[in-house]
Each structure stands twice: as C-alpha cells, then as structure tokens.
Chains A and B, each alone.
Chain A
Amino acid sequence: MTTETYGSESLREAFGAALVEAGKVYGDLHVLDAGTKNSTMSELFQKVYPDRFHTPGINEPGMVGLATGMAMAGKRVVACDMSVFLHHAYDHIRTAARQGAGVHLVIAASHTGIAVGPDGGSAHDITDLTRMRLVPEFTVVAPWDGNQVRVAVQVILAKPGYYYLRLNRPKVPIFLKDPAPFEIGRAYRLREGSRVTIIAVGDKVFNALEAADQLGERFADVIGVATLEPLDESVIVESAARTSRVVTVEDHMFIGGLYEAVAGLLAAKRPTPMRRVSLDRVFTTSGEPDELALIYKLDTASLVNVCREFVGSS
C-alpha cells in the first residue's frame, strides 16, 4: 500500500495564498511581518492589501506588540515571522495572551524544525511547540500539508482567540484531499492497525503514513495531530489501549513537544510504553532537509525501524 499524493507545496506558500483568500472575506484582517515577508509569504497579502499590511522592520517584539494592540482594537490580526526570530518576541507573546477574551491574534511561524536545512542550527527552531504550549490561552496548530493549512487558516480566522500556527520551509507532499480535515482539538486516525500506535504532528504525518505502509497491513495505527493544544485525549488514549505501544514523531526537540505531551497524557490516563522519533537536546547542524532527517533519524526508515524494534522487543 502507498499513500497517494497530489503534488507538493510548502506550508508557507499555502499559508500566503490562504491569507489572500481570507483578506477577501474579512475586511478587518490585518497582517504584520518583521522583515521576513518573502520567507513567510505574507508578501502575497501585502501585494493585494497594502493598507492592511504593517511592518516595524526587523523588530519581532515590536511586531507582536503592534499586532496585539490592533487585535485589542477588535481587528483580526496575523503576525508572521521566521520561527527562530520569535524568540525575541516571547515576552510580548506572553503579554498578548493576557489580554482576555474577544481578542483575535494569530502568530504564524515559518521555518520551523531541521526542515529549514542548510542555514544550520542557528536557524532551526526546534523548541517552538514547547514555548507555545507554555503560554496559556494559545491554541497550538501544526498542519500536515498545504491543503490542511488552507482549512486551518479559515478555521482560526473565523473565531476570536490566540493561535500559534506552525509552518515550515521546504516543499512537502500534499496528501490530504481538498477540503482537508481540520478541527481545533481533534486528532484523526489515518490508518488502522493493532501492533503499534504512531502519533505524528506537522509534516511528519506524511512520514508516519509512509512508515505504516511499509510496516504492512493493519500493523500501525496512525494518528495525525494538528492541534497540540488542546490535544485530542480520547483518540490517543483509545488507540494506546488497543496497541499498548506508542511511537511519536515530530520535527522538534523531544522536550515539551508532541512526545512529552502524549507521555504526560498517557501517564495520567493509560500508562503505555513509548518510543520517540524526535530531536535530542542538541543544537543541530547545516545540511539539506532530507540529509538532516537521516542524520537525526527523523526519516521514514528510522521510524519504521523504531516501530519494528519496539514491537519485536515486547
């Protein structure tokens, strides 16, 4: 069995196009960027709606502060940047989340994980999910492919709240049919199997499907997580109870990301042995994305091996 694909597209390109569509629907949508508009693709919005695009230059704290003030005035606001630079703005992001109900603010981060590639460790943001899980009020969204990005943007712009949207740089396979499934707080079972549960987030969901295909018929239960906060507890607990083994996969450090979110959940609700396919507590190196996936064992073959050894050992 193979997973069908429909071409490829980077999550950030899908995001930029989705912003343009949303700009037509919502006259109160304002978009900001702090000097990376041709990386985050927010420039697509700027070209069509220059009056609703703002930038303070290369100034991430200023951008998030401005965006927060606009959102507090009742506007729908999306603040975009390359993920690693949002470290600068963390304090402003925390203060944003303290502004109470009715505020509608999206922080969109492109260039996450080692998928950034040759720019190297200084540019690989592998702790963003952890940081955003630590800020109360934020919904943490990590879509799987371009089609899901489009739906996610529609959903998060429809209802006030604080949202973090995790995107990344390279073209990745489109494997969800349009319209893609996406609901806040819902995870989806994408394959049914009985030996092991693979839980994946972001573009690693595609690797999880490839791994399940290679592991064989009804071997792996695959669960795709698109919102890490809130996490869909029932789907995960139910699957863990059936397979008794859980492997998580993410382009992210294991601390505070998907692995620990799932581990925390299962420790409380259904203690289950786990393995992880994720980054250690390290600074990563330069290389092409596929090359780095091999080096750090985030590739499909590594996931298959982890699952086989896990099932074979217990």
Chain B
Amino acid sequence: MFKVSTEELKEKAYRIRRDLIELHFKAGSGHLDTSLSLVEIWLALVYSDFFQFNPKDGAWAGRDRIFLSEGHACPLQYLVNADLGYTTRDAVFAGFRRPFTPFQGHTQRDLKCGLENSNGSLGNGIWQAYGQALVTDRNVFCIAGDGEYEEPSSLGLLFAPHLVKPAPNFTLIINSNRLAQDDVVNLGPVDKVAEIYDWQVQRVNGHDFNALGNAYHQAVADTKRPSLIICDTIKGRGGDPALMGKLGYHGRPPKNEKEYQAHLAGLEASRRS
C-alpha cells in the first residue's frame, strides 16, 4: 500500500513533528497545532504506492497534485517536501516566514519546491483544485480544514459534480480537528450532502496510516465520482498534551523554553504510547 513500511512512516511522523515544534519555536509564530493534526494525512498520501512525483522536476506533467487550501498548515507541507527531496530541511528552517523566501507564512506557489498553489482565503484552494482536475488526467488531491467548510464557497463545491461535471480524479480531504481559530467546528451533515451530490464519501481516523492508505486507494479506484475523505484528527496531536484538542491555541507557537520543552515531552510520551 505504501512505498515504505508503516514503521518507517511512524518514524517520519515523529521526526517531522519534532521539526514542526522546533520550526515554530524558532520562528516565534505560525500555526503549529494545525500542522500537527495533519502529519499522518500528508505522509500517507505522498508515500502511497500510486502517488507520482518528481522532486527533480517539480513541474513534471505526470505528477499527482496536492493543493493545500487551509494554507496555514504550510509548515508541514514544507517539511514533507524537504523529506521528499524538493528542498532541504535547512532551507526550510532558514527561510520559514522570512522575506522573499519560498517558505512564506502561507504557501506561495512554487512548483520547484513542490508547492502547487498560493493560498488565499479559506474556500479558494478547493475550487482551484477542482478546476485543475477537470483539465488534467492526473490525480488531484486537496487538503481543506473543517473550519473552511463554514465558508459558503466551500459548501458550494459539493454541488460541483452536478453543476459542473464529475471529476473522478479529484479527492477532497477534510482535516476534521473540530477546532477553528475562535470556536469549535461542527461539520454537520456535510458527508450526507456530499453523498446526495454523488461523491464517494469515506470517514477515517486521520492518525491511522493504514486507514488513510486504504481510503486513498479507494478514492483513486473510483472512476466515476470525485471523493471526499473526512479525516477525524486531534488538533495539536503529538505536542504538549495540555493543549492537545483544546480551543485557544490556533496560531500559537511555543513562546518560551518551558513551552517548547512541554511540546517535546508530549511528543516523546506519544511516541512511547
């Protein structure tokens, strides 16, 4: 199912979480908790055996595409792309949230670095991704947040198979960590709406590599319908357990050595469990 073993994926997840914590501590800003909730979702996708990419030629026409619509999760995107060979970990650490680097505070399109789309407001990227799916035969994945689904523009995309046409090569991945910036999020019957509008709908544990891998394979196997995968996740997963799944830490990096160490201790504890 994957290009590497599940054990290797877990080790990568650990290292990337460690880097995410350090990266945000050093930068002094950024959305650590969102990135932490997405680690397994992203790694399972790029390490799925079907997933095509070429880090030496980021614009390669044969690549499968990942649009990031909840752009504040870009630090994870940068670090996964470094792992894949598009860039280096050092370049990400040197450039994150600094002037005129490829590693801005929200993603700026740069195919060389494996960055498929510049982010805008929530609800923008999903439509771009669907449009791209309509004119390419490659797989197009789009990662969106559950808070993003409060935007009417996002809900409207669920009608796309009817209003535009079905794009069976399109998979929408909703990271459902149930927490937005200032309040809890309830996706409500989004899954039921999607079913009515002819999406293949799956709901999985977004921290379970095998469940995610199976869901991605199911999605790309459907040649008639676009796919929606709702991934249940925990915001801040693998960081400071006192903050995990709690409201109020969106966009709040570790501010001092004590908070930084609390995140690292949480990471070590979660690795042992």
Contacts and interface: CB of A to CB of B under 8 A. Distances in A.
B119 interface: yes
A69 B120 contact: no
A98 B109 contact: yes
Interface string B103-134: 00000111000001111110111111111111
A61 B131 CA distance: 12
Q: Which of A56, A61, A64, A70 has the most CB of B within 10 A?
A: A56
A75 B132 CA distance: 10
Contacts of A241: none
A99 B130 CA distance: 16
Given A55-B164, A70-B131, A99-B109, A91 B124 contact: yes
B163 interface: yes
A58 to B, nearest CB: 9
B121 A62 contact: no
Contacts of B121: 91, 95
B153 interface: yes
A65 B131 contact: yes
A314 to B, nearest CB: 48
A94 B131 CA distance: 17
A286 interface: no
Interface string A218-236: 0000000000000000000
Contacts of A95: 118-121, 124-125, 128
Given A56-B164, A70-B135, A65 B108 contact: no
B136 interface: yes
A75 B135 CA distance: 8
Contact of B160 (A56, A61, A67, A100): A56
Contacts of A75: 135
Contacts of B126: 65
B124 A100 contact: no
B128 A65 contact: yes
B109 A66 contact: no
Contacts of A68: 127-128, 131
Nearest to B123: A61
A57 B163 CA distance: 6
Given A65-B128, A98-B109, A100-B108, A73 B135 contact: yes
A204 interface: no
A54 B109 contact: no
Contacts of B124: 65, 91-92, 95
A252 interface: no
A73 B159 CA distance: 22
Nearest to B165: A54
B131 A67 contact: yes
A100 B127 contact: no
A59 interface: yes
B156 A59 contact: yes
Contacts of B129: 69
B24 to A, nearest CB: 24
Interface string A46-81: 000000001111010110111111101101000000
A104 interface: no
B190 interface: no
Given A62-B153, A73-B135, A99 B164 contact: no
Contact of B120 (A57, A62, A94, A100): A94
B102 to A, nearest CB: 11
A79 to B, nearest CB: 10
A111 interface: no
Contacts of A98: 108-109, 118, 120
Contacts of A59: 156, 163
Contacts of B165: 54
Interface of B: 67, 108-110, 116-121, 123-136, 153, 156-157, 159-160, 163-165
28 contacts: A55-B163, A56-B159, A56-B160, A57-B163, A61-B123, A62-B156, A62-B160, A62-B163, A65-B124, A65-B153, A66-B164, A67-B131, A69-B127, A69-B135, A70-B134, A70-B135, A72-B116, A72-B117, A72-B128, A72-B132, A91-B121, A92-B120, A95-B121, A95-B124, A98-B108, A98-B109, A99-B109, A100-B110
Interface of A: 30, 54-57, 59, 61-62, 64-70, 72-73, 75, 91-92, 94-95, 98-100
Given A62-B127, A65-B127, 20 more contacts: A54-B164, A55-B164, A56-B159, A56-B164, A57-B163, A59-B156, A62-B153, A65-B131, A65-B153, A66-B130, A66-B134, A66-B164, A67-B131, A69-B127, A70-B131, A70-B135, A73-B135, A95-B120, A95-B121, A98-B108
